[in-house]
């Protein structure tokens, strides 16, 4: 089982992720970010690539898509909060989104 981030690691990760537009979710040990694409096909294509990566990681995002906007929430349910898996997936999503 993946362990929650230590307070020091959490603080460091959140600082880096906040600079990329991620925010803490109020009332949960989770992070969220909204991505905007040029159109639905780009948004859905990005989601498809993320889905393939998430499946390989065995770590699946919560997300919501409307037209060209995708809102993602990450938290490791088995650990009860943020883990290194969330940080790695968030960073990978950002790189993929460009």
- Count the neighbouring beta carbons within 10 Å of the beta carbon of residue 4: 17
In a domain, 87, yes or no: yes
Above 70 in pLDDT, residue 1?
no
Torsion-angle region of 36 (φ positive above 0: left; ψ -120 to 50: alpha; else: beta): beta
In the chain, the number of structural domains is 1
Percent of the chain clearing pLDDT 90 (strictly above): 98
In a domain, 28, yes or no: no
In a domain, 93, yes or no: yes
> For the segment 19-67, what is each residue's pLDDT rounded down to a tens digit?
999 999 999 999 999 999 999 999 999 999 999 999 999 999 999 999 9
In a domain, 25, yes or no: no
In a domain, 73, yes or no: yes
Contact (Cβ atoms closer than 8 angstroms) between residue 70 and residue 42: no
In a domain, 61, yes or no: yes
Q: Which two tokens stand for residue 7?
A: 């307070």
**What whole-number distance in Å separates Cα of residue 2 and Cα of residue 61?**
16
pLDDT at 37 (0 to 100): 98
CATH number at residue 53: 3.30.1360.20
In a domain, 26, yes or no: no
In a domain, 1, yes or no: no
Question: By residue range, what is the domain housing residue 85?
Answer: 7-19+33-97
According to DSSP, the residues that pair with 69 across neighbouring strands are 36, 66
């Amino acid at each position: 089982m993946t362990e929650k981030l230590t307070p020091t690691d959490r603080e460091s990760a959140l600082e880096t992720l906040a600079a990329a537009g991620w925010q803490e979710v109020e009332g949960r040990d989770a992070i969220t970010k909204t991505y905007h694409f040029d159109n639905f096909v780009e948004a859905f294509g990005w989601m498809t690539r993320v889905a393939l990566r998430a499946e390989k990681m065995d770590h699946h995002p919560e997300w919501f898509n409307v037209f060209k906007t995708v809102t993602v929430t990450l938290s490791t349910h088995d650990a009860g909060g943020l883990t290194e898996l969330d940080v790695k997936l968030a960073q990978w999503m950002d790189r993929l989104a460009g």
